[in-house]
Amino acid sequence: MATSYAEATDSEALFIGAHSEDFSGYPDCRPAFFDAFQNVIDVGTKPETEIELKAPFVEWSKTEIAERGLELDVPYEMTWSCYRDEEPACGTCDACAFRLEAFRNAGSRDPIEYAERPEFS
Ligand SMILES: [Zn+2]
């Protein structure tokens, strides 16, 4: 869908926020997948279309991403990682656990509300 949208809007790039800690559970978060998907984009769009697939955090840990976001004053209160589709975030799924751990490792507190927040976070 993103590729079609990018092509229809003459976009030059698609970005995905996958990171290295996703590799184990999600094969489609590996660099090899993005290399293969770039080929899909190249073959599956018009010859004159040039869309680059970018995964800028693919080699970063979630802690590194949290730290960089804190440096940039990212409004983390407006972000979401939970697999749950309603507020508050659960605090216990893998995405919540990684996120809470990243904030803890970065020496900060995640500003979003959680249904369950481990004591250490
Ligand atoms: Zn969750």
Q: Do 55 and 70 reside in the same domain of the chain? A: no
pTM above 0.85, yes or no: no
Residues 48 and 3 in one domain: yes
* 51 and 77, same domain (yes or no): no
Nearest to residue 62, comparing CAs of 21, 111, 121?
Answer: 21
One domain, residues 108 and 68? yes
Euclidean distance between the first and the last CA atom of the chain, given in angstroms as a whole number? 36
Expressed in angstroms and rounded, the spacing between residue 77 Cα and the centre of ligand 1 is 15
Domain final position from 29, 60, 91: 60
Based on the fold, state whether residues 65 and 29 are members of the same structural domain: no
Helices 62-71 and 94-105, interaxial angle, to 10°? 60
pLDDT for position 23: 65
Distance 70 CA to ligand 1 centre (A): 21
| Centre of ligand 1 from the C-alpha of residue 103, in Å | 15
Rounded Cα–Cα distance for residues 65 and 95 (Å): 14
Say if residue 88 is in the same domain as residue 116.
yes
Say yes or no: 81 and 98 in one domain.
Answer: yes
- Give every residue of the chain whose pLDDT is below 50, as ranges: none
What's the number of domains the chain is made of?
Answer: 2
Residue range of the domain that includes 1: 1-60
d(CA 95, ligand 1 centre) in Å: 6
Q: Give pLDDT, residue 105.
A: 96
Q: Please state, in angstroms and rounded to a whole number, the distance separating the CA atoms of residues 112 and 79.
A: 8
Alpha helices in 9-112 (DSSP H): 31-44, 62-71, 94-105
62 C-alpha to center of ligand 1: Å?
Answer: 15
pLDDT in tens, 70-103: 999 999 999 999 999 999 999 999 889 999 999 9
**Per-residue confidence (pLDDT) for residue 118, from 0 to 100:** 78
For residues 86 and 97, membership in a common domain is answered with yes
